[in-house]
């Protein structure tokens, strides 16, 4: 992923108001290893139910506001993130909804999906077993996972941008 500035991030959002963008807290951008990410995802430090995803799409940054469900999955069950496809304990996966862009979102239309609660899919896809005769090359495995993650994120974004 190419680095982003605070102003690029704030200008990238497609499904939220200028008021919500102004209130948004950003992560420490100086701490991010951009080349090891398919997207920048974070939870708002001041609004626990809000999350954000920003990534490069067609040579421009696109941001999506997410809202986390108020309830958690029952302990003892497992779940899978729909973006990175990592199986995790249910408490580490959250149902997020994203308001649709434009008038549809203003009218209350949303798209929902299960995503890693901390929005760190880019880090999870990089955890690989050591290379062996039974396992593919770790770099090839990460590249394949990254391609799938990017494809699923683009599909989710298409649904958010669709007029509904």
**Looking at residues 3-29, what average pLDDT do you find?**
94
Instruction: Give the predicted TM-score (pTM) of the model.
Output: 0.91
CA–CA dist 163, 41 (Å, integer): 24
At 22 the pLDDT is: 93
Determine the distance from the C-alpha atom of residue 92 to the mean position of all C-alpha atoms in its chain, rounded to a whole number. 14
Exposure class string for 33-46: b at 16+ Cβ within 10 A, else e: eeeebbbbbbbbee
The candidate with the shortest Cα–Cα distance to 114, out of 75, 85, 134, 150, is 85
Q: Is the pLDDT of residue 44 over 80?
A: yes
116: Cβ contacts below 8 Å, ≥ 6 apart: 81, 83, 84, 86, 88, 92, 93, 94, 124
Beta-bridge partners for 88: 79
Q: Please give the pLDDT value at position 116.
A: 96
Residues 60-75 have pLDDT tens digits of 999 999 999 988 777 7
Distance in angstroms (rounded) separating the CA atoms of residues 43 and 120:
10
Task: State how far Cα 124 lies from the chain centre.
Answer: 12
Q: Dump pLDDT digits (tens) for 109-150.
A: 999 999 999 999 999 999 987 777 887 788 888 999 999 999
């Amino acid at each position: 992923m190419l680095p982003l500035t605070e102003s690029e991030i704030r200008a990238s959002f497609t499904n939220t108001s200028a008021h919500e963008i102004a209130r948004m807290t950003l992560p420490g951008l100086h701490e991010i290893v951009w080349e090891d990410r398919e997207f920048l995802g974070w939870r708002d430090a001041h609004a626990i139910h809000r999350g954000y995803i920003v990534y490069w799409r067609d040579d421009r940054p696109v941001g999506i506001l997410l809202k986390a469900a108020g309830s958690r999955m029952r302990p003892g069950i497992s779940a899978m993130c729909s973006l990175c496809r990592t199986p995790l304990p249910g408490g580490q996966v959250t149902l997020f909804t994203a308001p649709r862009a434009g008038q549809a979102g203003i009218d209350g239309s949303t798209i929902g999906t299960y995503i890693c609660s901390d929005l760190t899919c880019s880090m999870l896809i990089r955890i690989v077993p050591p290379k062996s005769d039974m396992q593919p090359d770790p770099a090839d495995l990460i590249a394949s996972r990254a391609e799938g993650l990017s494809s699923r994120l683009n599909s989710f974004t298409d649904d958010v941008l669709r007029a509904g």
